[in-house]
Amino acid sequence: MAHIWLRAEQRDNEKRVGLTPEGAKSLIARGMHVTVEESPTRVIPLEPYMQAGCDVADFASWPSAPSDAVIFGLKELPEDGTPLTHKHILFGHAYKGQASGRILLERFRAGGGTLFDLESLVDETGRRVAAFGYWAGYAGAAVSVMAWISQQTGDICGPVSAYENKDTLLADLNARLADIGDTRPNSIVIGAKGRVGSGASDLLAALGCNVTPWDIEETAHGGPFPEILAHDIFVNSIFAREGTPVFVPHDALTAQRQLSVIGDVACDPDSAFNPIPIYDRATSWSAPVLRVAQAPVLDVMAIDNLPSLLPLESSEDYAAQLLPTLQTVGDLSGPVWTRALAEFQKHITML
């Protein structure tokens, strides 16, 4: 009998979850065993999981879970260096040359465990079976607008926190915009046809901002891209991979430009393929932007867990997308799982 162990997220400001009580109930109906850890932050409380028939485990007790349990969480594990012995489903961020990714893979190799990276759960066309992209784009564009608003009064964007839902987020942004008058930022979204770009474009349009939608057709020539510098806000929705062009090079810092905010929703600053190499680290909820130029100012927003700004909607959306795949976790010989396993094994052999 397959056993899914839903671990509590241990990262600050992470309230999301990849399995809802309704989803857990459907797994149990298929004969699976579901254990849910207690969590002080999960956006969905524990009681509905218990009513669905899930067992309950202590917070962060997954290291002592039965050896056959598949440990399921979203964000990274605590970086304590311990060997990893279980099968894990999570966003590992380990396959693009990231230094932290190599450390994670070393832990799997040391413990004999297996990583089924959520980024590698793909269909026969290579498209992810589930993604937070839409809400990452939506929230990333929102924080980028907050940064632009702060600049209009000579400030830098202050701390951000989760919203109850997207309506409260929009109401807050509209109120902030009203405080500075009728001006709206001119924006460009690269990757506008994808999930991330669609979310970013929808948020900006909902605020009455002009949006220039770019995708592969506009970037295929490889650059340079002076058009980006002619906008107030640039939202990058393209995930770094080999062959991704540089969108904002170092000389843009001193070039004549209108650009004052970059929302790097893809947020891969330590990747060798980073298309925005003017910054070198992710930003945070407490310090949402990194100021990389002063005259004129240029702020980079690179929060790497943006969907957590809207944890309920993003969790429900993602969990619904992922559920059909989780329902097959009892047979890891299926095509989605074998593709993810092959990707893991490829990178383990490269260590």
- pLDDT per residue over 19-59, tens digit each? 999 999 999 999 999 999 999 999 999 999 999 999 999 99
Let me know if 166 is a catalytic residue. Answer: no
Q: For position 350, what pLDDT does the model report?
A: 92
Q: For position 98, what pLDDT does the model report?
A: 78
Q: For position 239, what pLDDT does the model report?
A: 83
Indicate whether 268 pLDDT > 90: no
Q: For position 100, what pLDDT does the model report?
A: 85
Binding-site annotation, residues = 127, 194-195, 215, 219, 265, 303-306
Indicate whether 97 pLDDT > 80: no
pLDDT mean over 88-93: 95
* Catalytic entry in 93, 166, 231, 347: 93
Plot region of 201 (φ>0 → left; ψ -120 to 50 → alpha; else → beta): alpha
Let me know if 75 is a catalytic residue. Answer: yes
Extract the tokens encoding 292: 């990389």
* Catalytic entry in 25, 33, 75, 193: 75
Binding-site annotation, residues for NAD(+) = 127, 194-195, 215, 219, 265, 303-306
Q: Which residue did the predictor score with more confidence, 158 or 100?
A: 158
Quickly state the pLDDT bin for 275 (edges 50, 70, 90).
very high
Q: For position 262, what pLDDT does the model report?
A: 98
Q: For position 240, what pLDDT does the model report?
A: 82
**Angle of CA points 48, 54, 60, to nearest 5°:** 95
Quickly state the pLDDT bin for 299 (edges 50, 70, 90).
very high
For the chain, helix (H) and strand (E) counts, in that order, are 9, 12
The string of pLDDT tens digits covering residues 251-260 is 999 999 999 9
Q: For position 270, what pLDDT does the model report?
A: 82
Q: For position 1, what pLDDT does the model report?
A: 87
Mean pLDDT of the chain: 96
Extract the tokens encoding 260: 């004052």
Cβ within 8 Å of residue 28, ≥6 positions away: 34, 52, 53, 54
Q: For position 96, what pLDDT does the model report?
A: 79
Quickly state the pLDDT bin for 214 (edges 50, 70, 90).
very high
